[in-house]
């Protein structure tokens, strides 16, 4: 059959040829070859149509072959492909395959995606896969969608394992509102609060900064194993309640439960962040002497961190030298952070040598070393460190912050102007910071001095957490807690500024950074400036 070109159609000639070819494999091969020769071979729009027609022609091998050459497939392409394969019973398994590729490619699914892939699960009687995808449905905010009803119609009812999966995602993302909804849904559907589900709820609430809800779940559990106790202890520690963490640890021991290696990491970390040095020393000794557990890297890191934060730099350094094996980079990193905190530049330089020797390609080490030199006024050394980073093609990790509003997650980076309401956000933040300065806030000069590869004080004023907080205050009513998740450690200037913002706005602001939680309220922080 000869294919005629019709120029009346608004699409490209190659696309018009595809429309004429239809789901006929031989003609599709011809049109594909024609598209490559005429320069349309990489057109995602054209390839999406070709994929659907190849699938309709019954050739899954050709469909996969085309898929592998698509540059950066988007949500529309994935969804079209998943819908096409879900229409043919023999191709249902490929619907799951393409959905998996979509997830691994970090491409956001739509409700249409879920409708199709759930149909394939039903056709394959793949209940296990259906329950996993059910978790994805909830995490992506489609829990109340007609899609959801379709799952229940085909017999994919949520169970404890489903909710554990969803709660884990909520904990990771800091998605508090969705996590609460999952909790209510589980209770409303009569799910038993077993130790696994209960522990998942504790993790979710503590990772979202709500200790009272976490403790409420913990106290309501009929069965509590060492994992549940450890989750609650860890939650207290990361949120700045070190004394409560230690108290709960002792209560656990009184109840006859044996702490494991992870429990000791949680307790030691809590002691480090709360400055409970003597208690931390006793816990570390009991680990070795009473429970006969051999300290691992994580325990060594916690102890060095604890001693270093408390200013006991010599003791921390001597402890490292007593470790029998070669100290792990994480141990040197904790030591270097302590040197920076207490402005011990000589020791910091020695520690940095060990760290750079063990991980010469890690840009974070160069950044903190540069910071130390900048604080010491050694700008010649700062330039040397920057030159080394440039020569090694190393870049500082980009910081970003997220805020969850109305079941949607919004992401901000430093100086970000991609948001549709950028002008309003920046104007509001400028006004907010002006009011902060009027009440006593001044930029932390140390932070300005060592802003590596950034724009000094201007950049500092528009760090990602400040933008996210401004957006949250703009979009929520008075009395609503603002919850922010940041991928890096918060800088000193932002920490100072947010204390003032909490007063000006009369709001509680919770920031989860790389290391811990900061609960800002009425001008103070739960970390007591010890972080």
Q: Strand 482-486 and strand 400-405: pairing?
A: antiparallel
Which of 439, 341, 453, 436 is closest to 386 using CA atoms? 453
Rounded CA-CA distance 459/178 in Å is 33
As beta bridge partners, residue 525 has 520
Rounded CA-CA distance 435/428 in Å is 11
Model pTM score: 0.68
Rounded CA-CA distance 205/235 in Å is 9
> What is the pLDDT, as a whole number, of residue 298?
94
> What is the pLDDT, as a whole number, of residue 152?
55
Dihedral (CA of 119, 123, 124, 125) sign: positive
Name 305's Cβ contacts closer than 8 Å, sequence gap at least 6: 269, 272, 334, 337, 338
CB atoms within 10 A of CB 229: 24
Q: Report yes or no: 239 and 495 within 8 Å, Cβ to Cβ.
A: no
> What is the pLDDT, as a whole number, of residue 155?
61
Q: Report yes or no: 469 and 495 within 8 Å, Cβ to Cβ.
A: no
Which of 191, 211, 192 is closest to 202 using CA atoms? 211
Helix (H) and strand (E) counts in the chain? 28, 6
Q: Report yes or no: 152 and 381 within 8 Å, Cβ to Cβ.
A: no
Dihedral (CA of 228, 230, 231, 235) sign: positive
> What is the pLDDT, as a whole number, of residue 445?
61
> What is the pLDDT, as a whole number, of residue 374?
79
Dihedral (CA of 523, 306, 514, 397) sign: positive
Rounded CA-CA distance 90/124 in Å is 9
CA angle, residues 153, 155, 157, in degrees to nearest 5: 100
CB atoms within 10 A of CB 48: 20
Which of 16, 72, 77 is closest to 47 using CA atoms? 77
Residue 343 in 3-state DSSP?
coil
Rounded CA-CA distance 10/20 in Å is 14
As a dihedral over the C-alpha atoms of residue 75, residue 80, residue 82, residue 88, rounded to 10 degrees, the angle is 180
Q: What is the pLDDT of residues 49-76, one digit of tens each?
A: 888 898 888 888 888 888 888 877 888 8
Residue labelled with tokens 């699960």: 121
Rounded CA-CA distance 236/224 in Å is 17
b (16+ CB within 10 A) / e for 173-207: bbbbbbbbbbbebbeeeebebeeebbbbbbbbbbb
3-state SS of 84-96 is HHHCCHHHHHHHH
Token output for 305: 């961190």
Name 530's Cβ contacts closer than 8 Å, sequence gap at least 6: 273, 274, 275, 309
CA angle, residues 316, 320, 324, in degrees to nearest 5: 150
Low-confidence ranges of the chain (pLDDT < 50): 1-10, 145, 148, 447-456
Element of type H or E holding 80? helix 75-86
The DSSP secondary structure of 105-173, one letter per residue, reads TTPPP-HHHHHHHHHHHHHHT-HHHHHHHHHHHHHTT-TTSHHHHHHHHTT----HHHHHHHHHHHHHH
Element of type H or E holding 181? helix 176-188
Which of 497, 404, 459 is closest to 141 using CA atoms? 404
By 3-state DSSP, what share of the chain in percent is helix, strand and coil, each rounded to 5? Answer: 65, 5, 30
Name 23's Cβ contacts closer than 8 Å, sequence gap at least 6: 53, 54, 56, 57, 58
Residue 377 in 3-state DSSP?
coil
> What is the pLDDT, as a whole number, of residue 201?
96
> What is the pLDDT, as a whole number, of residue 192?
84
Cβ burial, residue 256 (10 Å; 0-12/13-18/19+) = exposed
Q: Report yes or no: 54 and 27 within 8 Å, Cβ to Cβ.
A: no
* φ and ψ at residue 363, rounded to 5 degrees: -65, -25
Which of 484, 307, 492 is closest to 404 using CA atoms? 484
């Amino acid at each position: 059959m000869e294919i005629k070109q019709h120029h009346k159609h608004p699409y490209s000639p190659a696309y018009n040829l595809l429309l004429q070819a239809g789901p006929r494999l031989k003609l599709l091969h011809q049109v594909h070859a024609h598209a490559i020769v005429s320069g349309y071979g990489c057109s995602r729009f054209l390839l999406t149509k070709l994929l659907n027609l190849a699938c309709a022609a019954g050739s899954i091998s050709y469909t996969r072959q085309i898929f592998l050459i698509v540059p950066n497939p988007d949500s529309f392409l994935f969804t079209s492909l998943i819908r096409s394969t879900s229409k043919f019973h023999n191709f249902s398994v490929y619907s799951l395959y393409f959905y998996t590729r979509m997830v691994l490619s970090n491409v956001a699914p739509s409700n249409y995606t879920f409708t199709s892939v759930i149909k394939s699960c039903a056709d394959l009687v793949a209940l296990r896969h259906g329950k996993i995808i059910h978790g994805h449905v909830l995490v992506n905010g489609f829990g109340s969608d007609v899609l959801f009803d379709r799952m229940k119609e085909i017999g994919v009812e949520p169970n404890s394992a489903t909710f554990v999966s969803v709660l884990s995602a909520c904990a990771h993302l800091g998605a508090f509102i969705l996590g609460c909804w999952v909790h209510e849904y589980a209770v409303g559907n009569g799910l038993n609060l077993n130790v696994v589900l209960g522990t998942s709820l504790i993790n979710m609430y503590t990772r979202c900064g709500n200790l009272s809800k976490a403790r409420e779940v913990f106290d309501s559990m009929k069965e509590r194993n060492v994992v549940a106790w450890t989750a609650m202890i860890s939650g207290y520690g990361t949120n700045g309640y070190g004394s409560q963490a230690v108290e709960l640890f002792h209560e656990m021991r009184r109840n006859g439960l044996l702490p494991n290696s992870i429990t000791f990491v949680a307790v030691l970390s809590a002691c480090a962040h709360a400055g409970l040095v003597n208690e931390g020393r006793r816990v570390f000794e009991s680990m070795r002497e009473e429970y006969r557990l051999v300290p691992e890297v994580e325990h060594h890191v916690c102890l060095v961190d604890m001693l270093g934060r408390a200013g006991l730099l010599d003791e921390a350094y001597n402890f490292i030298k007593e470790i029998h094996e070669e100290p792990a980079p994480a141990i040197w990193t904790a030591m270097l952070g302590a040197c920076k905190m207490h402005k011990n530049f000589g020791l910091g330089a020695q520690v940095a040598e060990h760290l750079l020797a063990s991980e010469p390609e890690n840009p974070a080490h160069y950044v903190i070393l540069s910071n130390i030199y900048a604080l010491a006024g050694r700008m010649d050394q700062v330039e040397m460190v920057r030159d080394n980073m440039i020569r090694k093609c190393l870049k500082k990790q980009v910081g970003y912050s997220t805020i969850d509003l109305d079941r949607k997650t919004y992401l901000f980076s430093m100086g970000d102007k991609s948001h549709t309401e950028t002008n309003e956000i920046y104007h509001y933040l400028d006004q907010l910071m002006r009011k902060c300065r009027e009440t006593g806030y001044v930029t932390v000069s140390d932070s300005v001095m060592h802003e590596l590869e950034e724009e000094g004080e201007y950049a500092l004023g528009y760090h990602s957490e400040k933008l996210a907080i401004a957006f949250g205050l703009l979009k929520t009513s008075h009395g609503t807690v603002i919850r922010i998740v940041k991928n890096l450690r918060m800088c000193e200037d932002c920490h100072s500024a947010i204390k003032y913002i909490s007063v000006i706005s009369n709001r509680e602001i919770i920031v989860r950074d790389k290391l811990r939680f900061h609960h800002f309220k009425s001008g103070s922080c739960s970390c007591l400036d010890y972080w």
